[in-house]
Amino acid sequence: MSDISFNRKLSVAPMLDWTDRHCRFFLRLLSKHTLLYTEMVTTGAIIYGKGDYLGFNTEEHPVAVQLGGSAPSDMAKCAELSQERGYDEVNINVGCPSDRVKNGSFGACLMAQPDVVASCVKAMQSAVDIPVTVKCRIGIDDMDEDEDFARFIDIVADAGCKTFIVHARKAWLQGLSPKENREVPPLNYPRVYNLKKTRPDLSISINGGIKTLDDVNTHLLNVDGVMMGREVYANPYILANVDSTIMGDESAHGISRREVVMQMQQYIERQEDPYFKPWHAARHMLGLFQGQAGGRIWRRYLSQNGTGKNPDPNLLMNGLAEVENAQREIDLYNKAKANA
C-alpha cells in the first residue's frame, strides 16, 4: 500500500491533552481533508490499560494514531489493533521530549537509537497494511544536525519507513522543560528542506512554529506536507479555508462559525458516555471566534458556564447568542457613528 494514499499537504499535530476525539470531531467540521492525529498513546496503555485508548468517531477520517513505545513486538501489536479499529495511519513518536516519555524509553530520546526505531518499523509493517510513519526532531542534545540526523533517517528509511514528519528543532533532553523544547531551540527549516533534496524518494512533512496558510504554501514549495499544531488549537477557524486553498478541492466552501457551533451542540447532545460533560468538547472550541467581535465574550461564557457541578446543557448555543448579541450591538454602534 502506498504511503501517500491520502492528502498529506496539511495535518494537525498530535498534542497531549488536546487532540482527543472531541477535538478531532470539531476540527473535522472545519476541514474535510486535513489529516488529523490522535494524542500520543503508549503501547502500555493500549495493551494493559482498562480504558479504550483507540476510540474515535467515524467522521474523523483521515485520522492517524500516534504510538509511544520502543519494543517492536508491542508496537506491532498496537499497530495491528489500530488497523483493526480503522485508523488510516500509525505513527511512531520520536519527537516528544517530556519526562514521562524519556523515562519510558520512547519519544525524542529514540533519535539516538535509530536501530531501535528501524526494528519497530519493520515489526509494524509486517503486521499492518496501513502506512507506518515517523515523527521526529532534527536531533537531540549534542547530536550533529547534519550527519547524525541523516544517519537516523537513512537507517529508519532503509527499514521501510517512507514518510517522516520532522519538527524542525532539536530537543534538549537535559536542561529544558517540554514547553521550553517547543519554543527555545531555534527552528531550522533549511535542514528539513535539505532532507527532501537529498532524499526525494521520501515523503517529508515539516512541523514547528507555522502560523499561517501563507506559511504553509511557502513550505510546500520545499517539502511534501506541513503539520500545524498550537496555532490551529488557538485559532481553529484557520482550517475553514484549507480544503479550497491548500488541498485543491474546488467544490469546498468554508463552513460558518454559527454552523460549527450548531453541529457541535448536536454532537454534545448525542454523547452517551455517562462521564461525558459538555466542557469535554467545548474546551477545544475556546478559540473559534479568535480575532472576531465577541471572541472574548465567547471564551468567558464557555469557561464560566461549562464547568462546575451544574454546567449549562445548552452551553454552545447560549454562548453563541451572547456573541451574536455583542456583534449586533457593535454593528448598531458603528452605523450610528457613521451616520452622525
Q: Kindly list the catalytic residues.
A: 96
Task: Consult the annotation and say whether 15 binds a ligand.
Answer: yes
CA-CA distances (angstroms) from residue 208 to 71, 195, 249?
28, 16, 26
167 is in an annotated binding site: yes
C-alpha cell at 240: 475553514
Determine if residue 83 is labeled as part of a ligand binding site: no
- On whether 207 is known to bind a ligand per the annotation, the reply is yes
Report the candidate in 2, 4, 133 with the shortest Cα–Cα distance to residue 75.
133
Q: Is 66 annotated as a binding residue?
A: yes
CB 188 within 8 A of CB 138: yes
CB-based contact 137:96 (threshold 8 Å) = no
Is 247 assigned to a binding site? no
Annotated binding-site residue? 230: yes
Residue by residue, DSSP assigns 148-184 as: HHHHHHHHHHHTT--EEEEEEEEE-TTT--HHHHTTS
Residue 237 DSSP label: G
**Phi, psi angle pair for 231, to nearest 5°:** -65, -40
317 is in an annotated binding site: no
Has 182 been labeled as part of a binding site? no
C-alpha gyration radius of the chain: 21
131 is in an annotated binding site: no
Annotated binding site for FMN: 14-16, 66, 135, 167, 207-209, 229-230
Annotated binding site: 14-16, 66, 135, 167, 207-209, 229-230
